[in-house]
Chain A
Amino acid sequence: MEASTKCEMQLLVNGETKSVVARHADTLLFVLRNELGLTGAKPGCLNGDCGACTVLVDGIPIKSCMMLAIETVGKAITTSEGLHNTAIQRAFVEHFAFQCGYCTPGFIMNAFALIERHPDADDRIIQEWLESNICRCTSYKEIEAAVKTVLANHPSIPNDDHF
């Protein structure tokens, strides 16, 4: 019997199990935006270069344009909609770490994971992680300042308002 190229999949997104029917060939980015209406992850280069589509899969930043949705079955996906008033979100506002804002959700997801995994990150680690994202408005200094503010206050700033 011919295997179907489309199926129903259960995805755990921002703490909720969502049932979607999608092509095996659909990327996670496509399914999040077009099937689940979660438009926080942004389509940019669609080539794994810009980082605008970054989400967390089991807490690890992933470029969702480069991962099939079906690969994430059984894993926990967190998008920017799953973060609520976290320290890094507040720091981005306080430091005006954006202009047009298109890259912001991707930067925030990556920065959130960086802070969670490396609360003692030094300049080298911060640069290494943030090089994964591109900001055409060149808000890099402000973004770096936002990340460093949260790291300096970690863990006194509660950072658990997320899935």
Chain B
Amino acid sequence: MIPFEITYHRPRSIAEAVRLFDTLQQQGKKPLYYGGGTEIITLSRLHLVAADAVIDIKHIPECRALESNPHELVLGAALPLAALEEAEPFPLLTKAASEVADRTARNQITLGGNICGQFFYRETVLPFLLSDSQAVIAGKDGVRQCSIHDVFQRHIRLKPGQFLVQMKVDRSYASLPHFHRKRRKQGKVGYPLVTAAAIKKDGQIRVALSGMCPFPFRSTEVEERLNARHLSLHDRIAGAIRALPRPILNDIEGSAAYRLFVLEQMLFDIIEELGGEETNGGLH
């Protein structure tokens, strides 16, 4: 239940959606773009989100795209995570998506909603950070494409009136060796203690993490230390841990010390599974 009044709008095109946002804003309203709606409804109920209007982007064809050409995958922001899992265009993304919430919820939660949401786990962004993907953004100035690294730094950085239309992934990334693991406090349902996603590209391991900090991230410093093969495996992992951004989360899901302990083991597993263990010290 949304405990305040809103107007609901269902544009059929990108241009209509952008125009609606602008018009509503000029009327002094606060509009929100609306995908699956789960986060907006949840947070509204708790009075953590307020809006006068929602603009449902699910009926915009570009936002529902699920296309594959010889060079890239095109994934619409309004695709439900469950649809992505079933189509399985990008195995690492399938794994990341399939660990979010539960199966029924994933029939509603959209790719764009997960990436742009306020809940800071945003785990489906990890495969896109690892694969240097492109984001298609729409706004008053038109539709533009940019690197995920330019538009997502800890969280999505959109100007008022802009929304995420699509993600584009170089197809070569879809077949790379990869690793995905989500560790929770207990059981198989719940927020992550640590989620680690990794790929091996040109002999180098890339790692992106969620649940360690109050934002998901991929860190060049962490990767440099993890790939420093002249060092022992333990020194590489210790260096990667030291290079983590701060703060490390310390909450009801787990203490900072416990998260670091879990991550350390995960980094060993990543190197073991992706085959980056050739070091002076070997795998202990």
- Contacts from A to B (Cβ < 8 Å): 3-5, 23-27, 30, 46-48, 51, 54, 60-63, 65-68, 70-71, 110, 128-129, 131-133
Contacts and interface: CB of A to CB of B under 8 A. Distances in A.
A4 B54 CA distance: 13
Nearest to A30: B1
Contacts of B107: 60-62
A27 B108 contact: no
A131 B188 contact: yes
B123 interface: no
Contacts of A47: 42, 45
B41 interface: yes
A68 B41 contact: yes
29 contacts: A3-B53, A24-B5, A24-B7, A24-B54, A25-B3, A25-B6, A27-B1, A30-B1, A47-B45, A48-B101, A51-B104, A54-B104, A61-B103, A62-B108, A63-B104, A63-B108, A66-B38, A66-B42, A66-B105, A67-B108, A68-B8, A70-B8, A71-B37, A71-B58, A129-B103, A129-B104, A131-B102, A132-B102, A132-B103
Given A46-B45, A47-B45, A23 B103 contact: no
A48 B103 contact: no
Contacts of B6: 5, 24-25
A127 to B, nearest CB: 8
Interface string B84-115: 00000000000000100111110110000000
Contacts of B62: none
Please give me the 5 A-B residue pairs with the lowest Cβ-Cβ distance, nearest first. A132-B104, A25-B2, A5-B5, A24-B8, A132-B102
Interface in B5-48: 5-8, 36-38, 41-42, 44-45
A15 B105 CA distance: 24
Contacts, number: 83
Nearest to B53: A3
A133 B98 CA distance: 16
Contacts of B2: 25-27, 68
Nearest to A6: B5
A68 B104 CA distance: 16
Contact of A110 (B41, B42, B104): B104
A24 B38 CA distance: 15
Given A25-B1, A25-B5, A71-B37, 8 more contacts: A25-B3, A30-B1, A46-B1, A60-B107, A61-B104, A62-B108, A63-B105, A66-B42
B89 to A, nearest CB: 19
A61 B107 CA distance: 7
A71 B7 contact: no
B7 A5 contact: yes
B212 to A, nearest CB: 24
Contacts of B108: 62-63, 66-67
A128 B107 CA distance: 13
Contacts of B56: 71
Contacts of B188: 131
B104 A23 contact: no
A70 B55 CA distance: 12
Interface in B52-92: 53-54, 56, 58
B80 to A, nearest CB: 8
B105 A48 contact: yes
B42 A48 contact: yes
Contacts of B44: 25
A63 B98 CA distance: 17
A128 B103 contact: yes
A70 B8 CA distance: 8
A151 to B, nearest CB: 16
A26 B1 contact: yes
Contacts of A129: 103-104
Given A24-B7, A68-B8, A132 B1 contact: no
Given A66-B37, A67-B37, A132 B105 contact: yes
A25 B45 CA distance: 11
Contacts of B41: 27, 48, 65-68
